[in-house]
Amino acid sequence: MRVYLPSTFDHLAQLHAEGSHPVVGGYGFTATPALIEAFEGLELEDVEYYAFLDAAEASLRLLHAGVENQPHRRVVVSVDIDDAACTIDEELGDSVVSVAVDRVPMKHIASIHIDPAANEEATAAAVAAIVESDLGEEDAANTVADAQDNFMAYREPSHLERFLTNP
């Protein structure tokens, strides 16, 4: 199953140093049956994009939690995990899956997406607004949506060291 994990530069540094990426909080995002049903008529790849966006928003929450010592940039790591290790948890959202592994080895990482430097200002504003957005504050939600509209650049996992030293 393709699962999108919210991440940060700190987690990418762990991936580089240890050869595996943490599953923060034990959750990821994927195209669950509920999400597929919500977007009936779309191709699976298009539905997966909505799960990807949920992971990108969760990356904002990680940045807000202060686990990040790097630039304000969203990071999403796309991984392939055995279906048996994933449990759909619709109580938490249409795209949420509980992942029964603590770490994902590099060989199961399909891609990494990172905000380019040009997005840092919008991402920093979204990080500051994410809690109010979650609580339903409209202006904060618009700030988060603006950041979510920004393109995230694809990075090849085999080039991890290169983009960690030159983000």
In a domain, 40, yes or no: yes
In a domain, 74, yes or no: yes
In a domain, 132, yes or no: no
pLDDT digits (tens, 9 = 90+) for 90-139: 788 999 999 999 999 999 999 999 999 999 999 999 999 999 999 999 99
In a domain, 138, yes or no: no
In a domain, 139, yes or no: no
State residue 68's pLDDT score: 55
Band of residue 66 on the pLDDT scale cut at 50, 70, 90? confident
In a domain, 123, yes or no: no
State residue 163's pLDDT score: 81
In a domain, 127, yes or no: no
Q: How many separate domains does the chain show?
A: 1
Q: Is the pLDDT of residue 166 over 80?
A: no
Sheet holding 86-88, edge to edge: 86-88, 96-99, 27-29, 2-7, 75-80, 109-114, 153-155
Closest CA to 79 of 50, 48, 58: 48
Structure tokens at 101: 């592994």
Predicted structure pTM score: 0.94
In a domain, 46, yes or no: yes
Q: What is the CATH number of the domain that holds 155?
A: 3.20.170
State residue 60's pLDDT score: 96
> CA-to-CA distance for 113 and 147, rounded, in angstroms?
14
Range of the domain at 14: 2-115+148-161
